[in-house]
A and B are shown apart, each in its own frame.
Chain A
Amino acid sequence: MLQENSGRKAITYFDTACQSLRPKSVIDAINQYYLKSSACSGRSMHQLAAEVTRNCDQARSTLAKFLGAAKKEEVVFTRNTTEGINLVANSLNLQQGDVVLISDKEHNSNLIPWQTQARKKGILVKIVPSCADNIFDLEAFEKCLDKKVKLVSLSYTSNLDGVSIPAAEIIKRAHQNGSRVLLDAAQTAPHQKINVRSLDVDFLAFSGHKMLGPSGTGVLYGKYQLLEEMDPFLVGGDTVASSTYETCEFLPPPEKFEAGLQDYAGIMGLGAAAKYLQDIGFEAIQKQELLLNETITAQIKDIPRLKLIGPADPKLRGGIVTFYLEGVDSHRIALMLDQMASIMVRSGQHCVHSWFNAHHIQGSVRASLYFYNTQEEAALFVSSLKKIGKVL
């Protein structure tokens, strides 16, 4: 997109936390499906269908490898992280009185599904408060853990401030307590190496559109045994081996969770995106993100009335710089950045309304950086923001 954008003013895209741009290999993979093998997977027997089945299977294998999963059947294709979390919320056998622990800065996608289960089944949702600088508070977490906690569902990396949680330690303690762990890795998968086996996580969900993949694609990882035990959330075509007028026989995971005709082009694109990220390497990605974050953080911290959300150290915030100017509407800043220099950032409450409401903050501006961003773009962002700081 950056290459094809010659018709208009050069853009600075700092909104990857919302949706990333796509490399050509991903677009080619999508196009290849529509141009060369636009057919069903797994249903028909003809050669096109076989090719689609093979390609989707290949994508699943790539994503299993991307996650370090034990086998590809632990990868369930979804539309996005939200669907993955909803799948677990609806399929995990939670009972009245069971407790689900979440943090105080969850995306609505990891808050509303649990609130809904609380209304439907009578589960309890408990909040683990963060430290003052938004770092995960292990002590507070430990205090919240008791035998009623059946599930710990946390954002691996916060979309609010880019802070990642000590996932391995949390999972270890949760398992010691007999609790399952679900990680919302929407903001992690694009930026950090994930190994579900070394983490020993039970479930992990992420989206394709934030990690160079197509929109409308996502993955729910689940330990195979847990997936086997769970009832499917959405049911229908492609989820059953056979049916009578009275009953049906579900397919094993992951098929029983993938109801209806899937987004084959998207799945292939997602596989290509995972491969692209693996080829670049997360070390290089994180290095570039940190470089940009350090540049920006160092130069904007002195802007009067500017408040950074999250820890001051950019190393703890990955590729995210979230801030607000006291007394200034965040949308105004975002619109001005766009108007002034075609800098695209997110403004508002970033689907973490609960945190903003609790902290009585109207909203913030979020610049989310990725490996395709440059130092020149960071400098332009800083100079534009300084001008805005002087004017508003």
Chain B
Amino acid sequence: MFCIVAFAVLSILGIFSATNRALAKEALDCVLRRVTLRPCNTGFDEKIKAKILGSVITRSEVAARFLNKYFELLSWVFFVLLMASSIFTVRGLYLYYVTGSCNGLNDTAFCVFDPNGDNNKVTAVSSNCYLTPPTEQDLTLQGADFSSFPVINQNVTDNKIVFIGCYACDFTRAAYPVMRELASKYKVNMIYADYPVKEKTDYLSRVGYCVNQADPDKFWKLNDELFVTDKSNLDNADTINKLMTDIGLDTGKMNACIADPQTETAVQNQFSEIKKTKFYGTPTIFINGEGFVGPKPYRVYAIRLKGLLYWIY
């Protein structure tokens, strides 16, 4: 067992040291012998044991005696630990590949491949809004009506995405182009539901509502522009007006709609529907009913839509 543990450790150390690389090679030879049911008679384990004992004995004779006496047992312990950590590592790699987090979908615990947790970051909805703050287990589309929201590929029924986002939120801005590409490439039915976590962009929810009512195709053009324009422009009515003019909208009619109290009511109703999902930050993306919190890598969404071999589609 010792040579397997040694091989794993020395392989890693071998990245940085030629001496350890040579030892790792010896360990590999020993492992191969063991695997093929031959005795490991290269003296490798004896050599490493002696080196370890030689180091330990200079610090503590008691520890060296203990190590010498229970070396085989300790080797087994380390072997089990190695196996367990290997399994967890493989699991972590798989989960990271599939969900963007080593610990599972939307899990914000530390992940070595995403040390800053970027794949799970959201712009949080104030917890004051809830008696008990929701968690990712609470996420649901049940009871929420998204029929009044803008949608692309409306006729597609097999794959549905509901994208809850916020124009001024960095993480939504990161996720949006990814979702647009997915929706376009795989012809997915995608709803965009704006929830202004940043209060200054309340106005944009009404803009979006009115533009979608007037011309759904132009809504998506405007939406694309809003997600690429500088955030400082988002609370500037002149800039928004110019964007609407550029895509061929009548700003007079649009501004009248935006100022209409009925629009405010409709938008508030939309917010109520969004809240029913129990989302707690943006972006929150539902793919076929499953919630993805934070801006995940492209592959995570693609895998959910097309499976592990998404790239062949």
* Interface, chain A (partner B; CB < 8 A): 329, 331-341, 387-388, 390-392
Q: Are A335 and B65 in contact (CB under 8 A)?
A: no
Q: Known interface pairs A387-B57, A388-B57, A391-B61. Does A335 touch B50 (Cβ–Cβ under 8 Å)?
A: yes
Q: Known interface pairs A390-B61, A391-B64. Does A338 touch B43 (Cβ–Cβ under 8 Å)?
A: no
Q: Are A331 and B47 in contact (CB under 8 A)?
A: yes
CA distance A207 to B31 in the complex (A): 40
Q: Are A332 and B64 in contact (CB under 8 A)?
A: no
| Sample (6) of A-B pairs whose CB atoms are under 8 Å apart | A332-B53, A335-B50, A336-B50, A340-B54, A390-B65, A391-B53
Q: Are A339 and B54 in contact (CB under 8 A)?
A: yes
CA distance A335 to B46 in the complex (A): 9
Q: Are B46 and A329 in contact (CB under 8 A)?
A: yes
Chain A residue with minimal CB distance to B62?
Answer: A391
Q: Are A331 and B64 in contact (CB under 8 A)?
A: no
Chain B residue with minimal CB distance to A339?
Answer: B54
Most A C-beta atoms less than 10 A away, residue of B53, B54, B58 = B54
List of B residues within 8 angstroms of A391 by Cβ: 53, 57, 61, 64-65, 68
Q: How far is the CB of B162 from chain A (nearest CB, A)?
A: 64
- Set B51, B58, B68: member contacting A335, Cβ < 8 A: B51
List of B residues within 8 angstroms of A334 by Cβ: 50
List of B residues within 8 angstroms of A338 by Cβ: 54
Q: Are B57 and A336 in contact (CB under 8 A)?
A: yes
List of A residues within 8 angstroms of B50 by Cβ: 331-336, 339
- What is the number of contacts between chain A and chain B, taking CB atoms within 8 Å? 46
List of B residues within 8 angstroms of A387 by Cβ: 57, 61
Q: How far is the CB of A326 from chain B (nearest CB, A)?
A: 15
CA distance A93 to B150 in the complex (A): 107
Verify if B49 is at the interface (C-beta below 8 Å from A): yes
Q: How far is the CB of A270 from chain B (nearest CB, A)?
A: 33
Q: Known interface pairs A391-B64, A391-B65, A391-B68. Does A332 touch B49 (Cβ–Cβ under 8 Å)?
A: yes
List of A residues within 8 angstroms of B65 by Cβ: 390-391
Verify if B55 is at the interface (C-beta below 8 Å from A): yes
Chain B residue with minimal CB distance to A329?
Answer: B46
Q: How far is the CB of A254 from chain B (nearest CB, A)?
A: 42
Q: How far is the CB of B33 from chain A (nearest CB, A)?
A: 18
Q: Known interface pairs A336-B57, A340-B58. Does A392 touch B51 (Cβ–Cβ under 8 Å)?
A: no
Q: How far is the CB of B233 from chain A (nearest CB, A)?
A: 64
Q: Are A331 and B43 in contact (CB under 8 A)?
A: yes
Q: Are B51 and A339 in contact (CB under 8 A)?
A: yes
Q: How far is the CB of A358 from chain B (nearest CB, A)?
A: 21
Chain A residue with minimal CB distance to B66?
Answer: A391
CA distance A387 to B64 in the complex (A): 10
CA distance A387 to B65 in the complex (A): 10
List of A residues within 8 angstroms of B64 by Cβ: 391
- Set A329, A336, A390: member contacting B54, Cβ < 8 A: A336
List of A residues within 8 angstroms of B54 by Cβ: 335-340
Chain A residue with minimal CB distance to B60?
Answer: A391
CA distance A340 to B54 in the complex (A): 5
Given A331-B43, A338-B54, 14 more contacts at CB 8 Å?
A332-B53, A334-B50, A335-B46, A335-B51, A336-B50, A336-B53, A339-B50, A339-B51, A340-B57, A387-B61, A391-B53, A391-B61, A391-B65, A391-B68
Q: How far is the CB of A294 from chain B (nearest CB, A)?
A: 26
CA distance A119 to B90 in the complex (A): 59
Chain B residue with minimal CB distance to A384?
Answer: B57
List of B residues within 8 angstroms of A388 by Cβ: 57
CA distance A334 to B57 in the complex (A): 14
Q: How far is the CB of A157 from chain B (nearest CB, A)?
A: 29
Q: How far is the CB of A178 from chain B (nearest CB, A)?
A: 47
Q: How far is the CB of A136 from chain B (nearest CB, A)?
A: 33
The 10 closest A-B pairs by CB, nearest first: A339-B54, A335-B50, A336-B54, A332-B50, A391-B64, A340-B54, A391-B65, A336-B50, A339-B51, A329-B46
CA distance A333 to B57 in the complex (A): 12
